[in-house]
Chain A
Amino acid sequence: MAFLEIDHVTKYFSSPSGTGQVCVFKDVTIKIDKGEFVTTIGHSGCGKTTLLNIIAGLETMSEGAIILNGKEVSGPGLDRMVVFQTFSLMPWMTVFQNIRLAVRAGYPDWDREKITAHVHKYIDLVGLKGAEDKRPTALSGGMKQRVGLARAFSIEPKVLLLDEPFAQIDALTRGVIQEELVQMWNTTRNTVFMVTHDVDEAILLSDRIMLMTNGPSARIAEIVDVTIPRPRTRETVIEHPHYYKIRNHIIHFLVRHAKHGTGGDGGPPDQSASEAPVEVNFERDASVLR
């Protein structure tokens, strides 16, 4: 049985004019195994972040259910920790205090020394030793997100939800932090659900990549298996014969859907609106190559 199940989740927003509702995405269904790293890619407005927030329990869904470890979840909880695009560090707290806030919440029965030691362990893990007493304002974007990652990993959540975690970090630092994330994830093997715009990032990190069509009424069109063995690094991953096949496939998908526009501006209607997502695996089937 799948560890995290997103079961026919549909989200409606009431339209801005107040009359009727707009469907953001429809019948999103995916089963994620324990320790699996799944990424969602799609154009802005397809509801990726909304989906992630629904899994986190920060937003409500209109229909469907989120099932974690056999139990339906409602509302936010310590078992699903989010790494935010905007870092979401408390600016009035130091690095240490930001992480301690999470550790205290995650392990309420620990004593002070144990909490302090645990916080320091994760600060060391993300290489922020010496910056413990700095406030987020004094940190670069990359360092801020390292704090965000340390905070998320420190409570050892069952599911890690990454909401475009590296979008606000400069390209050079981004690569470094991506590899740090891989290393951390290798030791913990949390189940991860990530949302991103960055195709290379998705291939480097994920086991499977969900491709979403544009909203309104977005849906999962394809699920691409990343058939590149781990461990992966930024250097070796691009050498793999499947790398550019997968990359081109995803980019073709995104370009094709960009032409259709985002708001139903005269593009051809999506014929396959009710079909199950196509599963793409370049090892199993080389013919899907476009």
Chain B
Amino acid sequence: MAGERTGNFKDTVFMSGTFLLVFLLAWHLFTLREAFDPKGLTQEQLQTMEFNGDIVRTPDGGYVWNPEKEKVKGVPGPLAVLEKAWVELGEAFEIKGTNDHGIAYLVLYTVSRFGAGFLAASVVAVIMGVLLGLNKVLFRAVNPYIQILKPISPLAWMPLLLYTVKDPKWTAVLVVFMASLWPTLATTAFGVNTLRKDYLHVAAILQLSWLRRLYRVILPGAAPAIVAGLRISFGSALVAVVPAEMLLGELGVGYLSWIEWNNLDIAGVIFAILVVGVVGVILDSGFNKLAGLVTYQE
């Protein structure tokens, strides 16, 4: 059985690796451009092209495509992205200007922005969710409003938030906050509301104090629902943080992609996209570890 499982694991790794290689190879081949060939061009034409910056003269007297112009011609290949990544990671901890912070700083900014908004929203949502879940009348009274507010894209709030707090830094955090509030709120209320009556009966018979009832019975009992809500919030916050940074011009991995676009550095854009993915995976696995600690099986 164990051997079979390792066998499967090996197969999986092999397959994943093959997919990656095929993809990279295809990417490389489709974006490959032929080397500059001066055959059939007059000296005059070559001089015009050099003057226009299409080609540059090499030290040995030949001509090659201008590498600067190459960057914006078509989609860069995997090697160009790798080269860009190498450069960026090499200066990860450097600050070269107001808008040119190393990638490590950008990741830090995004993660802290995300963390602040998500944590604040989670605390508020769980408290409100428990209150709503415990009081059926209150829940029914407030539920229509939650249903209306829930589907609103967090980005739709941005102009209003920016106008109100007048600070793009806090607006970005608040956009993340709005993105992560509703799912947790709704599922927490539902989880507390549908907590098995048996557990509450035991708590009632044992005459547990209000606080003990909350911490020993209600919160752990609703934990699976709360975690499910947090997971949805987490995803929606992660999706919201990138465009929020782009629109607000706040330094971060989302903004990096926008800067590189403004620089017409498509390899940089692809690198930024990959960084967003990696940051997402790391945050997500951290979240899963935490979630595993509080959930239980019926």
> Shortest CB–CB separation between residue A59 and chain B, in angstroms?
10
A-B Cβ contacts below 8 A, count: 60
Nearest residue in A to B208 (C-beta to C-beta)?
A: A105
The answer to whether B297 and A77 touch across the interface, beta carbons within 8 angstroms, is no
The answer to whether B206 and A137 touch across the interface, beta carbons within 8 angstroms, is no
Contact of B206 (CB < 8 Å), options: A58, A75, A86, A101: A101
> Shortest CB–CB separation between residue A56 and chain B, in angstroms?
7
Nearest residue in B to A98 (C-beta to C-beta)?
A: B202
Contact of B201 (CB < 8 Å), options: A76, A93, A102, A105: A76
Q: Give the interface residue-count category, chain A.
A: 20 to 34
> Shortest CB–CB separation between residue B199 and chain A, in angstroms?
6
A135 within 8 A of B: yes
Cα distance A105–B202 in the bound complex, in angstroms: 11
B216 within 8 A of A: yes
Interface residues of B in 169-221 (CB under 8 A from A): 196, 198-199, 201-202, 204-208, 216-217, 220-221
Among B196, B201, B206, B207, the one with the most A-chain Cβ atoms within 10 Å of its Cβ is B206
Given contacts A78-B206, A106-B206, contact A135 B201 (CB under 8 A): no
Main secondary structure of the interface of B (DSSP, over half): helix
Contact partners of A90 in chain B: CB under 8 A = 199, 202, 216-217, 220-221
A82 within 8 A of B: yes
Contact partners of B216 in chain A: CB under 8 A = 90, 101
Given contacts A101-B216, A137-B297, A137-B298, contact A92 B221 (CB under 8 A): yes
Contact partners of B296 in chain A: CB under 8 A = 91-92, 135, 137
Binding site for A on B (CB under 8 A): 196, 198-199, 201-202, 204-208, 216-217, 220-221, 223, 296-298
Chain A to chain B contacts (Cβ below 8 Å), 7 pairs: A76-B204, A82-B201, A84-B202, A86-B198, A88-B201, A91-B298, A92-B223
Binding site for B on A (CB under 8 A): 56-58, 75-78, 80-82, 84, 86, 88, 90-93, 101-102, 105-106, 135, 137, 155
